[in-house]
Amino acid sequence: MPDHPAILTEALTKRFGSLLALDRLDLRVARGEVFGYLGPNGAGKTTTIRLLLDFLRPTSGRCQVLGGSGGDPAVRAGIGYLPAELRIDPRYTTGDLLAFYGKLHGGYDRAHVDGLLERFDLDPGRPTGQLSTGNRRKAGIVAAFAHRPDLLILDEPTSGLDPLLQHEFQRLVRETADGGATVLLSSHVLPEVELLADRVAILRTGRVVTVASVDELRRRARQRIDLSFATPPDPAAFRSVPGVVEASAVDTTVRLVVEGSAAHVVRAAAAHEVVRITTHDTDLEQVFLGYYRDAS
């Protein structure tokens, strides 16, 4: 495997007149990594992708894809790209689209493509103008994965897909990454990013707010913990415990919201007769949304 990263940006900056769309972006995406790229609309995610693919040129700084330029045909042959808005001549069939991209990428494995078409229940002979939004999205997914690229750049890939096909897409991404490919996943579907990504970068107004593993973000997330006692408790006893941001009581249960480690809560609970401890799913979405709102 080459020693250079799949994606590298250094102080990558893009201005459109007085608008600073991307501000000194530093990213390093390793080979074989699923990298989530998150942020609200207008944060600069699509601008980043267009710079990586050489659709736009940077105002300053530089970017490298698969060790070269995204505009180099030899490099582009190793990239699978799904734009957020896939524009296809409505007269083209899915088969036409695959044949066109196949020529650009130097061909593809027919059996592999047939398997993708079957997996996503697509008729290659049907004009794309007759397809629903979801089916056009499926055609774009198949086209991006058809030539077994080394790097997949996917911009809002599951927009318009029903839950079953979202699950099928997620399986495909994981299989592809397990096979050694790199995936840059720009998505607003936070549970999908949480499920698939090894690391995430969160972008806000053109600047990276944080780059962290999903596990690290989970450790930063607030937890909800219910402590049930043999006798009615006083929630005030827990409000001063380090990490506790909320404490309330319902009958014999204290309901806590804890930020960071729950170790201090466990020690405080040990002083009482605890009947049951119930933990709830970590609210990772609130961590994401907090970064969206509050740049540091």
Contact call for residues 268 and 238 (beta carbons, < 8 A): yes
Q: Which of 169, 30, 145 lies closest to 80 in space, CA to CA?
A: 145
Distance, CA of 228 to CA of 182 (rounded, Å):
46
- Burial grade of 220 (CB within 10 A; 0-12, 13-18, 19 or more): middle
- Cα–Cα distance for residue pair 215/135, rounded to 1 Å: 34
pTM value surpassing 0.75: yes
> Domain 7-217 classified CATH 3.40.50.300?
yes
Please give the Cα distance from 17 to 105 (Å, whole number): 35
Domain boundaries, the chain: 7-217, 221-293
Please, what sign has the CA dihedral across residues 190, 191, 195, 196? negative
How confident is the model at residue 296, as a pLDDT? 45
DSSP string of 8-28?
Answer: EEEEEEEEETTEEEEEEEEEE
Whole-angstrom Cα distance, residue 219 to residue 196? Answer: 17
Q: How far is C-alpha 256 from the chain's CA centre?
A: 30
CATH T-level fold of 221-293: Alpha-Beta Plaits (3.30.70)
Quick one: pLDDT at residue 42? 86
What does the block give as tokens for 27? 């990213």
Q: Are 93 and 128 in contact (CB under 8 A)?
A: yes
* Mean pLDDT of each 10-residue bin along the chain, 296 residues long: 86 96 96 93 92 96 96 92 89 90 82 94 91 91 94 92 91 95 90 90 92 82 86 88 90 88 87 87 69 62
Collapsing DSSP to helix, strand or coil, 83 comes out as: coil
Residues 6+ away with beta carbon under 8 Å from 216: none
What per-residue confidence (pLDDT) applies to 284? Answer: 67
**Alpha carbons 130 and 146: distance in angstroms, whole number:** 22
The residue type at 86: L
